[in-house]
Structure 1
């Protein structure tokens, strides 16, 4: 609803959209959006990238690392499942990209939010969650669930011994959700440039970087053009995935 409101707002520079990678996934799974994710918005800047999603499994899963997990999943296609925050949620996209890259088939179980999915993982009623590191971290530290890898290009300082998916043997796979700012389309260029520059100044401050990192994000502060390319490319990747995966409600 908020995104549609911004899309239809006056391009006077007073209304800004702050949203996540869902901006690139919702158009793929929803036929009833009241806006176009590209044509109706003017990118300002990519604020921050996630430190990555963590590939986490129930505590008694019969594998000690990612390679053993993949071997088990390949030997038993369709036996194991993963939970997400809902149909079309970025967690589902992460897991389906993981499925495709690894050549496995984890069955999808959608829940009403990431919290419910993690609760089911802790209880051992589902096998896998590929979700936000900052949300999974407390449960990993308690030892109630196991982590095999993080989906970023570099390790997370919070878990320096946790390998990236690339390091763990799944070559070429990363999944890095983002947050960014958009204006509605039609905002004068000088407004866009000024807003981006002011945001960049804030993101350069150590306190801002720490605040984002504490929430599981690395600050970026891209140009509008860089952000536009990133979003367009992600929408295209999501659309290609949706040609082979059913993202509809059952």
Structure 2
């Protein structure tokens, strides 16, 4: 990193002997960054894909930078509690946040948002995409494809149900996009987390479920759930035999839940750039790739500029979807 130094000199006017002021150099705050531990906010509970990604990269990047990343979970309100906290921190490079597609969806979902997702943060980079997946109880003999779901939904409009881990989540929105593009009306049943939703799906209380591939895969591998399609534009490398929604016949369908890193808006660009470069380099390491694959994460590794453009585009897209489907968290 280039460090700019300014040397200031002055002479005493009107004196025979010139007096030279001591040289002073003003060093930019990023010159010695990091010089202390870095706080990494995870705005969701421990145990999920987001938390796993933060802990994996934090461990690796901490060794590279010579300072530890201290993971701090601040869950609540769809990620808003953690995001509000980070937005109010000084931009000194010692606070960052990993967050999700919620940065693009929470503003239209919550009427009184205490922060601005675009103005209050400096994007560091999009780290990864973790697909959602449409599943059903494997004991249902007549549901073996997305086409079967569409046919059943059209035969019984408004009578079939899909579960999600909660209102306003990417899983919920994946179902609403499905309803819109498939021209069906499957009723959304929100739960407080994936666990109880899966239990009711296995118990026959709901017909289908959109879930994160991270939490659904063990049930699919055990044979309890049947995977019908992933929501991303490309197949998942961790479950390559499962088709995409597009391949399954839902034209134009693509919901790619992403995880990205943000810092307070006033963080020096040099720190943002350096952190981005460290993360991108770490995500090329075989052990990190293996850990990401284990949770179903597909590495992205964007630049800060690409992350900013992505957030803008996603904000426009999801505001339109949320408005058209009349979804609100208030």
- TM-score, with structure 1 as normaliser: 0.94
Residue in structure 2 matched with residue 223 of structure 1 by the alignment? 303
Residue in structure 2 matched with residue 132 of structure 1 by the alignment? 212
Give me the whole-angstrom Cα distance separating, in 1, the residues matched to 2:83 and 2:257: 18
Give me the whole-angstrom Cα distance separating, in 1, the residues matched to 2:106 and 2:193: 15
CA contact (8 A) 1:134 1:215 kept: yes
Q: Return the match for 2:226 from 141, 146, 155.
A: 146
Q: Return the match for 1:65 from 136, 145, 153.
A: 145
CA contact (8 A) 1:59 1:146 kept: yes
Structure 1: gaps of 5 or more residues: none
Q: How far 1:89 sits from its partner (Å)?
A: 1.5
Matches within 5 A, 1:1-250: 1-50=81-130, 52-61=131-140, 62-248=142-328
- Change beyond 3 A, Cα 1:191–1:214: same
SS of the residue 1:180 aligns to = strand
CA-to-aligned-CA distance 1:156-187 (integer Å, 9 cap, x gap): 24333221111111121111111111011121
Q: How far 1:153 sits from its partner (Å)?
A: 2.3
- TM-score, with structure 2 as normaliser: 0.72
Q: How far 1:25 sits from its partner (Å)?
A: 1.6
Give me the whole-angstrom Cα distance separating, in 1, the residues matched to 2:199 and 2:106: 25
CA contact (8 A) 1:59 1:124 kept: no
Give me the whole-angstrom Cα distance separating, in 2, the residues matched to 1:201 and 1:161: 29
Give me the whole-angstrom Cα distance separating, in 1, the residues matched to 2:278 and 2:183: 44
CA contact (8 A) 1:58 1:126 kept: no
Aligned-residue RMSD, C-alpha: 1.5
Q: How far 1:144 sits from its partner (Å)?
A: 2.1
Task: Work out which structure has the larger RCO, using CA pairs closer than 8 Å and 6 or more positions apart in sequence.
Answer: 1
| Equivalences, count | 249
CA contact (8 A) 1:196 1:223 kept: yes
Runs of at least 4 residues off by over 4 Å: none
